[in-house]
């Protein structure tokens, strides 16, 4: 018999064969398997919230109870429970029975509240879904990264702690430590009550189980939810006041007349002021508009002029002559505009200091147009300049530095460059404005 | 329910799915355990240990190879480890008689006989024969699994075959006698 034949007998004989193990084997295996864990699918992202909320509610209720029992013991004992209290031990007025009963009512109350919370949380879930569809995957991964980093940096702060912090209601916040302290100071009799520790402990245990090890995805989604809640609270509108010194540059050309292009011309530092409103399209992008008043002054110096006096006929002479005195003067052009900007602001850094990029355009409506001549001895109003368009536009570029004073109040500093497109009819003149806008913005 | 879905549920430690998986594969795997064990009781213990390992380690199954193959490997390793714990590898004598040659029978051999003859093999021969002939491992792999050299694996296989031939020939001789 060859080896090959032998192998074949065994290979074919055993191929695709089965032998059923004896009954009861599965039961033995099942009994050795670890207890079925709480299924993660049954732990939606909002569950930790409910757990934490429930614990808070319970603590708050216990707090109220202890308040009642210490301040007004009658309030607890007026129910038809035999009054077995020792009057002398006024500090510990609650009996075991009373405590049992109140805890039972508490538990019932807690269950009701839990149901209510579930309903609320369902709607929260829907909101979360909407946000999930709205925000792109990159944003999610960005979010995840920043959050992982935050996790790393915040030492020892577990998700559950955070959750509880999120949930802490302002007016309860002060009470919580006192609740915790007040629980152990229950009367000695109460410690024997079997339901006391159970009622106190179980919800917390449950909550800790629920909060335990949420999967990354769930954690992400949960963090996302809380973040988004903050964003929702984050104010979408803001109104800001602004004032800026304005530097007006003509780029060498003379605005008044080309014949003065060789003359020395200066622009005075003037001011712009106004009110701006902004709307947050997203976390990073704002749409802004507003109304600003811009004043610009421009002087051309050493403009020769003749101050002509009415021709006078002198008695002494037969001929009439004109007295005139040519002298240098300063031609002063004052311009004022109402500016309505439409700008986009993209936030580059969104921290305590916010840095953003601003771009857009403004419509300028001519409001003030005055030309005057000044000299040491003489001043004359020359009327309006006729080389200005009533409506013109600028393109704007700049960046913003915002400092968050509070959630609602920011200090803004924005160096802005505004290039005037068609302010002047002589198209070769395209001056620009540079302003450093400062102000405060209120977010709501 | 397809196997993928079942594995997914088992990864979540779903008890119902675990039982389904057991019901689906316990027959094949029990046969495997019998082959590597001294007797039925040991095979049962191995089967239990093996399934518990499968459920514990199911997260490490990435779905690349066949799931049945993955389970088989766990079962075989469990069986080997059990035998290693018994430390019997060192205690077998090498004294075996020569085997007379005999003709291959035409009829097929009962599963029970095949299993019994394998189980009666001394442990180290049984292991190598199972691994090499029935479960397709190479001598190199076997050497690593059993902490022996490749040469030992080869010589053990040769011994195993000789012994099985002897046992089968005895079986057929008895069978022929009975039928006469």
What string of H, E and C letters represents the secondary structure of chain A? CCHHHHHHHHHHHHCCCCCCCCCCHHHHHHHHCCCCCCCHHHCCCCHHHHHHHHHHHHHHHHHHHHHHHHHCHHHHHCCCCCCCCCCCCCCCCCCHHHHHHHHHHHHHHHHHHHHHHHHHHHHHHHHHHHHHHHCCHHHHHHHHHHHHHHHHHCCCCCHHHHHHHHHCCHHHHCCHHHHHHHCCCCCHHHHHCCHHHHHHHHHHHHHHHHHCCCCHHHHHHHHHHHHHHHHHHCCCEEEEEEEEEEEEECCCCCCCCHHHCCCCEEEECEEEEEEEEEEECCCCEEEEEEEEEEEEEEEEEEEEEEEECCCEECCCCCCEECCEEEEEEEEEEEEEEEEEEEEEEEEEEECCEEEEEEEEEEEEEEEEEEEEEECCCCEEEEECCCCECCEEEEEEEEEEEEEECCCCEEEEEEEEEEEECCCECCCCCCCEEEEEEEEEEEEC
Question: Do B23 and A11 count as a contact with CB atoms less than 8 A apart?
Answer: no
* Listed residues A213, A232, A251: the one ending a domain: A232
Question: Do B31 and A1 count as a contact with CB atoms less than 8 A apart?
Answer: no
Q: Are residues A207 and A275 located together in one domain of the fold? A: no
- Model confidence at A3: pLDDT above 90: no
pLDDT at B27: 94
Range in A102-111, A121-130, A135-144, B13-22 with the lowest mean pLDDT: A135-144
Q: Are residues A238 and A376 located together in one domain of the fold? A: yes
pLDDT band at B156 (very low <50, low <70, confident <90, very high): very high
Domain CATH code at residue A352: 2.40.160.20
Domain that holds residue A344: 234-306+325-443
**Closest chain A residue to B132, measured at CA:** A7
pLDDT at A367: 85
pLDDT at A87: 46
Question: Do A12 and B27 count as a contact with CB atoms less than 8 A apart?
Answer: no
Q: Are residues A268 and A226 located together in one domain of the fold? A: no
Residue numbers in B near A9 (CB within 8 A):
104, 108-109, 114, 168
* Listed residues A182, A198, A232: the one ending a domain: A232
Share of chain A above pLDDT 90, in %: 6
pLDDT band at A325 (very low <50, low <70, confident <90, very high): low
Residue numbers in B near A28 (CB within 8 A):
48
- Model confidence at A404: pLDDT above 70: yes
Q: Are residues A290 and A197 located together in one domain of the fold? A: no
pLDDT band at A176 (very low <50, low <70, confident <90, very high): very low
pLDDT band at A50 (very low <50, low <70, confident <90, very high): low
pLDDT at A78: 46
pLDDT at B71: 93
pLDDT at A65: 72
Residues A19-48 have pLDDT tens digits of: 999 998 999 998 888 876 555 555 555 556
Residues B117-132 have pLDDT tens digits of: 999 998 889 999 999 9
Question: Do A1 and B101 count as a contact with CB atoms less than 8 A apart?
Answer: yes
Q: Are residues A159 and A240 located together in one domain of the fold? A: no
Q: Closest Cα of chain A to B125: distance in Å? A: 14
Q: Which residues of B touch A (CB under 8 A)?
A: 12-15, 18-19, 22-23, 26-28, 30-31, 34-35, 44, 47-48, 51-52, 55, 101-104, 108-109, 111, 114-115, 118, 129, 133-134, 161, 164-165, 168-169
**Closest chain A residue to B22, measured at CA:** A26
Higher pLDDT, A109 or B132: B132
Q: Closest Cα of chain B to A214: distance in Å? A: 13
Higher pLDDT, A358 or A182: A358
Range in A55-64, A106-115, B92-101 with the lowest mean pLDDT: B92-101
Share of chain B above pLDDT 90, in %: 51
Question: Do B104 and A17 count as a contact with CB atoms less than 8 A apart?
Answer: no
Question: Do B134 and A14 count as a contact with CB atoms less than 8 A apart?
Answer: yes
**Mean pLDDT for the stretch of residues B81-107:** 63
Range in A6-20, A169-183, A240-254 with the lowest mean pLDDT: A169-183
Residues A347-375 have pLDDT tens digits of: 888 888 889 999 999 888 888 888 888 77
pLDDT at B172: 79
Residue A134, CB half-sphere, CA atoms under 13 Å: how many? 12
**Mean pLDDT for the stretch of residues A184-192:** 43
Question: Do B30 and A12 count as a contact with CB atoms less than 8 A apart?
Answer: no
pLDDT at B155: 92
Q: Which residues of A touch B (CB under 8 A)?
A: 1, 3, 5-7, 9-14, 17-22, 25-26, 28-30, 32-34, 36-37, 39-41
pLDDT at A326: 62
**Closest chain B residue to A5, measured at CA:** B104
Residues B22-58 have pLDDT tens digits of: 999 999 999 999 999 988 999 999 999 999 999 999 9
Q: What is the residue-averaged pLDDT of chain B? A: 86
* Listed residues A216, A232, A248: the one ending a domain: A232
Q: What is the residue-averaged pLDDT of chain A? A: 70
Q: Are residues A227 and A243 located together in one domain of the fold? A: no
Question: Do B161 and A6 count as a contact with CB atoms less than 8 A apart?
Answer: yes
pLDDT at A49: 64
What chain B holds in terms of domains, given with CATH numbers, is 3-86 (1.10.1740.10), 111-179 (1.10.10.10)
- Model confidence at A67: pLDDT above 80: no
Which of B165, B166, B170, B173 to probe the A interface (max A CBs under 10 A)? B165
Helix, strand, or coil here: B122?
coil
- Model confidence at A171: pLDDT above 50: no
Residue numbers in A near B27 (CB within 8 A):
18-21
pLDDT band at A76 (very low <50, low <70, confident <90, very high): very low
Please choose, from the candidates A275, A293, A274, the residue with its C-alpha nearest in 3D space to the C-alpha of residue A239.
A275
Q: Which of A107-111, A136-140, B12-16, B83-87 has the highest mean pLDDT?
A: B12-16
Residue numbers in A near B26 (CB within 8 A):
20-21, 25-26
Question: Do A25 and B13 count as a contact with CB atoms less than 8 A apart?
Answer: no
Q: Are residues A252 and A168 located together in one domain of the fold? A: no
**Mean pLDDT for the stretch of residues B109-117:** 88
Residue A254, CB half-sphere, CA atoms under 13 Å: how many? 16
Q: Are residues A239 and A206 located together in one domain of the fold? A: no
Q: Are residues A48 and A142 located together in one domain of the fold? A: yes
Q: Which two tokens stand for residue A378?
A: 């003489």
Q: Are residues A302 and A164 located together in one domain of the fold? A: no
Q: Are residues A75 and A195 located together in one domain of the fold? A: yes
Q: Are residues A220 and A271 located together in one domain of the fold? A: no
Range in A196-200, A295-299, A425-429 with the lowest mean pLDDT: A196-200
| Overall number of domains in chain A | 2
Higher pLDDT, A265 or A217: A265
pLDDT at B29: 94
For residue A1, being part of any structural domain is answered with: no
pLDDT band at A255 (very low <50, low <70, confident <90, very high): low
Provide the β-strand partners of residue A361. A342, A395
**Mean pLDDT for the stretch of residues A385-395:** 83
- Model confidence at A109: pLDDT above 50: yes
Please choose, from the candidates A337, A42, A270, the residue with its C-alpha nearest in 3D space to the C-alpha of residue B13.
A42
For residue A186, being part of any structural domain is answered with: yes
pLDDT at A212: 45
pLDDT band at A136 (very low <50, low <70, confident <90, very high): low
Question: Do B165 and A12 count as a contact with CB atoms less than 8 A apart?
Answer: no
**Mean pLDDT for the stretch of residues A278-292:** 87
Question: Do B111 and A17 count as a contact with CB atoms less than 8 A apart?
Answer: yes
- Model confidence at A403: pLDDT above 80: yes
**Mean pLDDT for the stretch of residues A211-235:** 48
């Amino acid at each position: 018999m060859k080896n090959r034949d032998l192998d074949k007998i065994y290979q074919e004989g055993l191929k695709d064969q089965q032998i059923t193990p004896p009954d009861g084997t599965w039961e033995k295996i099942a009994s050795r398997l670890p207890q079925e864990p709480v299924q993660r699918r049954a732990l939606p992202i909002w569950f930790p919230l409910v757990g934490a909320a429930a614990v808070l509610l319970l603590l708050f209720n216990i707090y109220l109870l202890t308040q009642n029992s210490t301040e007004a013991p009658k309030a607890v004992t007026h129910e038809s429970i035999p009054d077995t209290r020792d009057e002398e031990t006024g500090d510990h007025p609650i009996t075991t029975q009373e405590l049992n009963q109140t805890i039972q009512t508490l538990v019932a109350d807690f269950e009701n509240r839990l149901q209510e919370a579930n309903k609320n949380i369902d709607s929260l879930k829907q909101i979360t879904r909407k946000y999930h569809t709205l925000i792109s995957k990159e944003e999610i991964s960005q979010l995840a990264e920043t959050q992982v980093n935050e996790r790393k940096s915040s030492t020892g702060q577990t998700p559950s702690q955070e959750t509880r912090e999120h949930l802490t209601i302002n007016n309860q916040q002060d009470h919580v430590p006192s609740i915790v302290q007040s629980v152990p100071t229950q009367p000695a009799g109460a410690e024997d009550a079997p339901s006391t520790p159970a009622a106190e402990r179980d919800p917390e245990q449950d909550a800790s189980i629920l909060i335990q090890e949420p999967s990354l995805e769930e954690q992400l989604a949960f963090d996302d939810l809380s973040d988004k809640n903050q964003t929702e609270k984050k104010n979408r509108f803001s109104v800001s006041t602004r004032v800026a010194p304005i530097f007006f540059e003509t780029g060498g050309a003379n605005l008044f007349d080309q014949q003065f292009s060789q003359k020395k011309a200066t622009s005075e530092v003037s001011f712009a002021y106004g009110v701006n409103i902004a709307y947050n399209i997203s976390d990073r992008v704002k749409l802004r508009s507003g109304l600003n008043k811009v004043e610009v002054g421009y002087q051309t110096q050493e403009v020769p002029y003749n101050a002509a006096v009415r021709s006078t006929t002198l008695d002494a002479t037969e001929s009439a002559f004109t007295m005139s005195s040519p002298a240098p003067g300063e031609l002063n052009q004052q311009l004022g505009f109402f500016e309505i900007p439409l700008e986009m602001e993209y936030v580059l850094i969104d921290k305590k200091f916010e840095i953003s990029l601003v771009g857009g355009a403004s419509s300028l409506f001519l409001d003030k147009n005055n030309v005057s001549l000044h000299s040491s001895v003489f001043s004359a109003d020359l009327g309006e300049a006729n080389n200005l368009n009533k409506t013109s536009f600028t393109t704007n570029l700049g960046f913003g530095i915002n400092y968050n004073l509070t959630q609602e109040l920011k200090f803004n500093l924005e160096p802005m460059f505004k290039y005037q497109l068609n302010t002047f009819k002589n198209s070769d003149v395209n001056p620009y404005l540079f302003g450093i806008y400062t102000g405060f913005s209120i977010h709501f | 329910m397809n196997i993928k879905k079942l594995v997914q549920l088992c990864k979540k430690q779903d008890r119902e799915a675990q039982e389904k998986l057991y019901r689906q594969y316990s027959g094949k795997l029990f046969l495997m355990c019998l082959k590597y064990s001294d007797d039925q009781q040991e095979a049962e213990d191995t089967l239990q240990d093996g399934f518990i390992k499968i459920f514990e380690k199911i997260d490490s199954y990435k779905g690349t190879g066949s799931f049945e193959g993955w389970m088989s490997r766990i079962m075989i390793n469990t069986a080997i480890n059990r035998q290693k714990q018994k430390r019997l590898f060192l205690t077998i004598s090498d004294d075996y008689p020569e085997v007379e040659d005999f003709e291959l029978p035409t009829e097929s051999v009962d599963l029970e006989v095949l299993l019994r003859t394998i189980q009666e093999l001394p442990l180290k021969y049984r292991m190598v024969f199972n691994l090499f002939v029935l479960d397709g491992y190479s001598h190199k792999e076997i050497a690593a699994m059993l902490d022996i050299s490749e040469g030992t694996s080869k010589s053990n296989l040769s011994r195993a075959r000789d012994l099985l031939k002897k046992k089968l020939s005895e079986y057929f001789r008895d069978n022929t006698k009975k039928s006469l």
